[in-house]
Structure 1
């Protein structure tokens, strides 16, 4: 699939990895719809890139009806939907047992709900839409790229909820890809390492530099544009299916 033929939904598309993906798709001739809840950032991005190629629909990814309605609107507006990139997520840390006692169960539920259930919600709705597309010469009707994390494999202390959510995304990649193979929709996952996203915005530059130096090579934080380039590689290579790709500069996280 060529980027100029892409008509995508990008969840969490107003900032970070999602924003970089929207930019990359649009700058290469494709169209992208932003599913996010940050009106200010999404509107600014839409106005910058052009309303003919970018849509913004305020969307809570955990809301089944909202995702379904907005997905239908995107397909109707673009005339087609052939790509979903799931970047929406939260990374609220919290030890299972702190000085105050066991963590409130609502903390765990929220992270799982947004990261894992929200991803699955967008997948099920988008795939049902893609299933009706005309196949290309390879029989492909669509591509789905979900965002896991290296925390799925080397979660640090305080990341139990986040690691569980991202591990779920990693684990469901293959069974969903196998199911969707019958109608020509590929499913992949990316596990980023330490990337310079809004999650690091509150940190001082010295702290960000220190985190970046944990990555063997390149010895820095990842650039969201590098995530977007991997999305492009996945979209354009039809043999990439049912797999998770680490994008981490060879980092392996320590316990804390």
Structure 2
């Protein structure tokens, strides 16, 4: 069975037990490690059975996949940041044009005069620091490390979203082919629970794939992005997804999504 998720600590922590045969009655998995800016488009041809994508990419994928209520990244205090080197914001580096981070940025900035360049997320902060870009949209562990590059935060987009809507921020979603969605939900919930019960078991797997090698940063990353919504979206999680994509469609940024596709 083909599965794709990012090499970030939250994903490797969550999926460690599943892809290492530690969950009963699961198939063998062919794992692809790819950041969501890659899977958002790679999933368009339905090549994966299970895949981690951005919530912002769902309007282009829900005709082939079912949104699962577990395994993803959604929460509070965990949003993307706009960081700057102090120059006026004109040229901006972003991690992908179908990422939730970029969708939030567009909803927040409401500007059409910006020069946007898609850059692998690990190149964004160095590019802003050396003046290649005026500002950058950063995600993942960059929340904990941007100060190391001499950068300052212009806006916490998660904080903006939460203050405006009162809802958690929907970042990364797990999709499954419809015919395995029910089974996959059971598998992933079991993998999440195993990760929490045995955090040391995944430590080497997390370290092997993390781009930020500082163990403290890895632990902070996992603690922030693996939370109660990872085990079960709950009504607040589904409401957050519906609110984000409704606003995006209303602004003409994404196609509309059927409400039923964003409900249990």
TM-score of the aligned structures, taking structure 2 as reference length: 0.33
TM-score of the aligned structures, taking structure 1 as reference length: 0.34
User: Does 1 or 2 have the higher relative contact order (CA < 8 Å, sep 6+)?
Assistant: 2
